[in-house]
Amino acid sequence: DGGKVYVEVHVSGEVNEYKGYITAEEYNRRMRKLDSNAEKSEPISKPELTKAAQNYVALHRHNAVRVTLLSQSELALRLMVAHAICGSFHWNVKPDPQRADKKETQQNIHESTAQKAFFKERDEVFKLLNWPTDEGLSTCTDNFMFEVVEVFQTLQTLAEKDVMRILTFVMVETLASGTALVELLGKMLNVNMQDFWQPEGHFFDLIRDKNAINAMLADIGGKEVADGNVTSTAKVQKKIINDYLTGEGREQVNDWMPNYMKFPFQSYTKNGAGELTNNAEYAEEMPK
């Protein structure tokens, strides 16, 4: 391969020869030549259709397929579910993040009856999709871990009731919290919060408005008790409410539910409860 010969003479008289060495410049020149030869020996193949021609064909094929699909509602249903699950060029569906303002709230939600029922159904849906049951995974991943074509093919093998079960879960998982739609659905479905929630400590820790707390006390203990404690601290009044719930020193009140957890939502004072009140009012204004 050529190159230079370098002779090293030591003080002792020993001589070492280094043959075939080349400079960095020569090395780079040879590598460029090799790359050039490789390009010549393996020319890049050119598609037989230009970009414009590919676009023309793709659009006509797309139109033909989608018009034919208009009469295939069952197939379209499965396609829609697959798109919602995996995402695509035109679909970007995300699960509600259920963002909690406080760590205690996050833990409380995670341990709730409704959340446990949700996770249980999610595992059943994952089994239908042949997915691993992983608590950290959502159906609408949008990370293409499960490609839309693969999910669509899986849905093709399932019965209609199973596809509808998956579709229902995807809709439930992506339903946005803190919206008028939640208020409307809760009322339409006659959701009874007693099936899913009971008054507990963290809830009362978050309630700070004394007027609202006093109205809540009147709701559970009567006006006389509330009026008698109107000047008491919020902490004292919340303690009395808890006594009614536990029966500690007072007649126990069972099945009590604060206005905040009822459908339709109600506030305790004219000041309202921010977006919760706004959403409830909007839902009430919807045509019956």
- Do 272 and 229 sit in the same domain of this protein? yes
- Supply the DSSP symbol for 229: T
- What is the number of other CB atoms lying within 10 angstroms of the CB of residue 84? 23
Domain total for the chain? 3
**Which of 48-69 are b and which e, b meaning 16 or more Cβ less than 10 Å from the residue's Cβ?**
eeeeeeeeeeeeeeeeeeeeee
Q: Write out the two tokens for 205.
A: 């820790």
- Do 99 and 170 sit in the same domain of this protein? yes
State residue 205's pLDDT score: 96
Residue 188 lies in a domain: no
Higher-confidence position of 18 and 231:
231
Q: Write out the two tokens for 261.
A: 């957890």
Across the chain, mean pLDDT equals 88
In tens, the pLDDT along 102-151 reads 999 999 999 999 999 999 999 999 999 998 887 666 777 654 556 889 99
Residue 210 lies in a domain: yes
- What is the number of other CB atoms lying within 10 angstroms of the CB of residue 197? 16
Distance from C-alpha of 77 to C-alpha of 52, rounded to nearest angstrom: 32
- Do 92 and 141 sit in the same domain of this protein? yes
State residue 39's pLDDT score: 55
Residue 84 lies in a domain: yes
Residue at a domain's end among 128, 148, 175? 175
Distance from C-alpha of 187 to C-alpha of 192, rounded to nearest angstrom: 9
> For the residues 39-66, what does the mean pLDDT come to?
85
- What is the number of other CB atoms lying within 10 angstroms of the CB of residue 195? 9
Residue at a domain's end among 175, 204, 223? 175
For the chain, counts of helices (H) and of strands (E): 13, 2
Residue pointed to by tokens 């963002």: 99
Q: How far is CA 105 from the centre of its chain?
A: 18
- Domain membership of residue 35 as a residue range: 4-41
- Do 208 and 165 sit in the same domain of this protein? no
Q: Report residue 10's pLDDT band, with 50, 70 and 90 as the boundaries.
A: low
- Do 85 and 162 sit in the same domain of this protein? yes
Question: By the 8 A CB rule, do 191 and 110 touch?
Answer: no
Nearest to 85 by CA among 164, 19, 5, 174: 174
State residue 34's pLDDT score: 73
* pLDDT at position 17 over 80: no
In tens, the pLDDT along 258-279 reads 999 999 999 999 999 999 999 9
- Do 137 and 221 sit in the same domain of this protein? no
Question: By the 8 A CB rule, do 183 and 260 touch?
Answer: no
State residue 13's pLDDT score: 59
- Supply the DSSP symbol for 16: E
User: Residue 241 corresponds to which amino acid?
Assistant: I
- Do 224 and 256 sit in the same domain of this protein? yes
Residue pointed to by tokens 């820790």: 205
In tens, the pLDDT along 186-214 reads 999 999 999 999 999 999 999 999 999 99
* pLDDT at position 33 over 80: no
In tens, the pLDDT along 159-190 reads 999 999 999 999 999 999 999 999 999 999 99
Least confident of 1-5, 63-67, 105-109: 1-5
Distance from C-alpha of 197 to C-alpha of 175, rounded to nearest angstrom: 20
- Do 213 and 278 sit in the same domain of this protein? yes
Give the angle 104-107-110 at the CA atoms, nearest 5°. 150
Residue 58 lies in a domain: no
SS3 (DSSP) at 196: coil
Q: How far is CA 217 from the centre of its chain?
A: 38
SS3 (DSSP) at 277: helix
Using a cut of 0.85, tell me whether the model's pTM lies above it: no
Distance from C-alpha of 236 to C-alpha of 222, rounded to nearest angstrom: 16
